[in-house]
């Protein structure tokens, strides 16, 4: 059989890379649960009608059909391309069993049929948190959700040397209120053009506003002036006022964004900035919006984004407004792993290899392994009763730091230093740093 070729856009990590990924996922779970978020999992497929609720996405969706489906099987299903649309459906189905505000986190694979490139994949793991209300949701949750994600990313910075992040925040009420104050009716169309500002720049954005949307050059210039405003504190409020546009919705958005920036600077100083070019072109956002970049790796684009939505989930009688933020785990790790940004202390979970004297005494080795595992020490038994030198070399190639010789009361050798000491499998314990693989920042 010929060697298979990898499928572009479907990354598969090696064991040491998976150790990095699992460390990240464990840290995310730990942080989310510390803040009271409950884990859920939704099915991989949704009806295409459900997937298309948030806008024109048909070019991104992988359609799922049974190979031998007959004419009567008319169900059109697609793999979910994010975790927010499935959440909306899930909440509507299970609302009678939930207590609100409902706090959920979800870590799952998602699929998108876009062109693969660095940091952009067709299959990847995403981690989301959302807070949903029933009928209404207090605005302080718009501050809470991004701060929880920033706490998780800051913890990863401290634990494994993940590069620091900077979260760019805006408020759709601010932008929409500003555009209305200029007399613009189709504010969503303007937002979707301004969403390209970071990629195409001020001049090209202004030209698109004029050529595609028919805005006057003066009005387009005002929109671009708003998008250029950026501030690490609440100075942006005065800069917006100086543009001479007024309106109640604009005032509401300014107040909400200022509250987010003030609170974030208390909790995670230096990790957030008001950036009025952030638009989040999807039509369901209604309040604060967030995009996050890795400092020093800005070319990767946003690794974590989200915002407030007031009408994504509704059954016609009750609406379930929410706020959420997602982290593209594979999008974050893929480029960093390719750049050898992390070092793993060993590529296997095994801490101890129990040597086998002969196949006749393998049961003795199995007893030692069982005793060590019972105390939480990852252990495997040598695959062959080779000479001890070969068994030590096997452990070394695998990255296993310790080799055990003899029965329960035997000897353990640290093959890195060559130190060998008497030990009892009933009480011997390696140093905490050696018990499990550790992820370290590259030097």
Q: In what order do the strands lie in the sheet with 272-275?
A: 38-39, 102-111, 123-132, 322-328, 304-309, 285-294, 165-171, 272-275, 230-231
Q: Report whether 18 belongs to an annotated binding site.
A: no
What distance in Å separates the CA atoms of residue 84 and residue 96, rounded to the nearest whole number? 19
Q: Report whether 290 belongs to an annotated binding site.
A: no
3-state helix, strand, coil in the chain (%, to 5): 40, 20, 40
Beta strands 352-354 and 402-405, pairing class:
parallel
DSSP 9: T
What are phi and psi for residue 437, nearest 5 degrees? -60, 145
Would you say how long the chain is, in residues?
443
Which distant-in-sequence residues (6+ apart) come within 8 Å of 47 by Cβ? Answer: 75, 76, 77, 78
> Would you say 257 and 288 are in contact if contact means Cβ atoms under 8 Å apart?
yes
Place of tokens 């992390």: 342
> Would you say 279 and 286 are in contact if contact means Cβ atoms under 8 Å apart?
no
Omega within 30 of 0 (cis) for the link into 101 = yes
Q: Report whether 92 belongs to an annotated binding site.
A: no
- Residue 424, both tokens: 């009892």
Q: In what order do the strands lie in the sheet with 45-47?
A: 45-47, 77-79, 63-64
Q: Report whether 84 belongs to an annotated binding site.
A: yes
Q: Report whether 203 belongs to an annotated binding site.
A: no
Q: Report whether 195 belongs to an annotated binding site.
A: no
Torsion, Cα 369 345 437 403, to 10 degrees, reads 10
Q: Report whether 125 belongs to an annotated binding site.
A: no
Q: Report whether 379 belongs to an annotated binding site.
A: no
Could you tell me where the DSSP H helices lie in 140-196? 140-160, 172-181, 187-194
Q: Report whether 65 belongs to an annotated binding site.
A: no
Binding-site positions for L-histidine read 82-84, 112, 126, 130, 280, 284-285
Give the residue numbers of the binding site: 82-84, 112, 126, 130, 280, 284-285
């Amino acid at each position: 059989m010929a060697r298979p070729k990898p499928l572009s856009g479907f990354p598969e990590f090696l064991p040491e890379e998976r150790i990095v990924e699992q460390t990240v996922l464990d840290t995310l779970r730990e942080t989310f649960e510390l803040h009271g978020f409950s884990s859920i999992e939704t099915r991989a497929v949704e009806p295409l009608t459900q997937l298309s609720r948030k806008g024109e996405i048909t070019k991104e969706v992988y359609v799922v059909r049974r190979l031998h489906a007959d004419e009567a099987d008319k169900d059109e299903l697609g793999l979910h391309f994010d975790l927010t649309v499935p959440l909306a459906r899930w909440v509507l189905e299970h609302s009678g069993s939930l207590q609100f505000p409902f706090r959920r986190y979800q870590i799952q694979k998602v699929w998108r049929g876009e062109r693969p490139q660095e940091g952009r994949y067709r299959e990847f793991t995403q981690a989301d948190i959302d807070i949903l209300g029933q009928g209404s949701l207090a605005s302080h949750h718009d501050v809470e959700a991004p701060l929880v994600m920033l706490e998780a990313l800051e913890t990863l910075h401290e634990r494994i040397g993940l590069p620091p992040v900077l979260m760019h925040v805006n408020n759709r009420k601010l932008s929409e209120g500003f555009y209305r104050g200029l007399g613009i009716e189709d504010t969503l169309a303007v937002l979707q053009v301004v969403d390209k500002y970071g990629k195409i720049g001020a001049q090209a954005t202004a030209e698109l506003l004029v050529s595609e949307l028919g805005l006057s050059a003066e009005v387009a210039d005002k929109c671009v002036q708003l998008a250029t405003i950026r501030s690490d504190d609440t100075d942006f409020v005065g800069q917006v006022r100086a543009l001479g546009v007024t309106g109640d919705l604009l005032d509401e958005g300014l107040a909400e964004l200022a509250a987010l920036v003030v609170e974030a600077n208390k909790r995670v100083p230096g990790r957030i900035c008001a950036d009025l070019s952030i638009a989040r072109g999807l039509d369901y956002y209604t309040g604060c919006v967030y995009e996050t970049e890795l400092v020093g790796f800005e070319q990767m684009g946003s690794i974590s984004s989200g915002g407030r939505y007031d009408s994504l989930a509704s059954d016609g009688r009750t609406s379930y407004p929410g706020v959420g933020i997602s982290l593209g785990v594979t999008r974050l790790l893929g480029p960093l792993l390719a750049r050898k940004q992390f070092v793993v202390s060993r590529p296997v979970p095994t801490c101890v290899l129990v040597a086998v004297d002969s196949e006749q005494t393998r049961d003795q080795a199995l007893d030692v392994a069982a005793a060590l595992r019972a105390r939480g020490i990852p252990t495997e038994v040598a695959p062959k009763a080779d000479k001890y030198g070969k068994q030590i070399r096997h452990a070394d190639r695998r990255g296993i730091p310790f080799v055990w010789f003899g029965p329960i009361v035997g000897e353990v050798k640290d093959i890195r230093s060559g130190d060998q000491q008497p030990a009892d499998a009933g009480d011997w314990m390696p140093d905490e740093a050696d018990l499990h693989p550790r992820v370290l920042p590259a030097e």
